[in-house]
Homo-oligomer: A and B are copies of this chain.
């Protein structure tokens, strides 16, 4: 499908792409570049690519598809390094969770003749680093692409075909709308999860040991996404501020009403909300975006640590 794919950044997402490319034979060669020698050595030991280099410009030279897989905060510096080495006709893409910022920062620096097709695979786990990736990560997940209206249709089609080959469903979307969608489906959920885990960690009336022991009552569900990569998520909140604050405002308005229902002992209001929210999970399961198994399919009765 491609002659040479260059992956700049090789964490969970980058390494999962590398494995998928290899498993499906999507490129003659994969070049991997990352900032730290240690991470590069790990990627090489895992056999993720064909070319390994600390020099991003070297990685992208001759590549017909370049995908930025670093935290978003590093994009500008990476772009300054690679721009002179990008080939005419090459496609530049990325996997960042925020798209408006990516367009604002990168688009002015994309050389003439290079196609710019930003992307965002809605997939991940709470683990980070090259060893955490796996080829099936994108299967049956959605990948959103946010090319500008005038972008070369052929280039967009090639990126669509690439993600479909990795098992994803692809949706084209305006960057600003994308950022609103992920603010409610991903960014605010992460913010709230990080927040309650922090609150529980800070209490003096309930000990940390009690929080840990009795976490199976619901709390532990939040700790999964609150264990996601700190730098990646810092950059998400630094670059999608407006949409996050808007959705957080809606969440807080609703929470004030719910707090009032608890204070007033308004049973019908509570039961009505709790009944309505059941239906959404059912829809997500029917859409193939969630497991039907109880408790996420967690194993029950397993020994400690298993």
Query: What are the interface flags for A127-163 relative to B under an 8 Å C-beta threshold, 1 for contact and 0 otherwise?
Result: 1000010101101111010000000000000000000
Does A108 sit at the interface, judged by CB under 8 A?
no
Given A206-B181, A277-B198; A298-B291 close (CB under 8 Å): yes
Q: CA separation between A135 and B296, bound complex, in Å?
A: 18
Q: CA separation between A298 and B212, bound complex, in Å?
A: 22
Does A78 sit at the interface, judged by CB under 8 A?
no
Which segment of A33-41, A54-62, A86-94, A264-272 sits at the interface?
A264-272
Report chain B residues within 8 Å CB of A273.
194-195, 198
A297 touches B297 (CB 8 A): yes
A225 touches B230 (CB 8 A): no
Report chain B residues within 8 Å CB of A244.
262
**A254: nearest residue on chain B (CB-CB)?**
B199
A167 touches B277 (CB 8 A): no
Q: CA separation between A185 and B301, bound complex, in Å?
A: 20
Q: CA separation between A292 and B224, bound complex, in Å?
A: 10
Contact of A295 among B125, B182, B184, B283 (CB under 8 A): B125
Which segment of A45-53, A111-119, A215-223 sits at the interface?
A215-223
Q: CA separation between A181 and B205, bound complex, in Å?
A: 8
Q: CA separation between A288 and B215, bound complex, in Å?
A: 11
Given A267-B238, A276-B201, A300-B136; A195-B254 close (CB under 8 Å): yes
Report chain B residues within 8 Å CB of A184.
199-200, 203, 206, 211, 219
B238 touches A270 (CB 8 A): yes
Report the minimal beta-carbon distance from A36 to chain B, rounded to whole angstroms: 17
Does A83 sit at the interface, judged by CB under 8 A?
no
B125 touches A280 (CB 8 A): no
B284 touches A223 (CB 8 A): yes
Q: CA separation between A122 and B271, bound complex, in Å?
A: 22
**A228: nearest residue on chain B (CB-CB)?**
B274
B186 touches A284 (CB 8 A): no
Chain A residues close to B by CB (< 8 Å): 73, 97, 122-127, 132, 134, 136-137, 139-142, 144, 167, 171, 180-182, 184-203, 205-206, 208, 210-228, 230-231, 233-234, 237-238, 241, 244-245, 247-248, 250-252, 254-255, 258-259, 261-263, 265, 267, 270-271, 273-278, 280-292, 294-306
- Taking A191-B255, A230-B275, A245-B262 as known contacts, 8 extra A-B pairs with beta carbons closer than 8 A to each other, sorted by chain A number, are A126-B294, A134-B300, A136-B300, A189-B218, A194-B273, A199-B250, A226-B277, A285-B305
Q: 10 interchain pairs (CB within 8 A)?
A: A126-B295, A186-B214, A190-B218, A192-B192, A192-B196, A238-B270, A286-B304, A288-B305, A291-B306, A295-B296
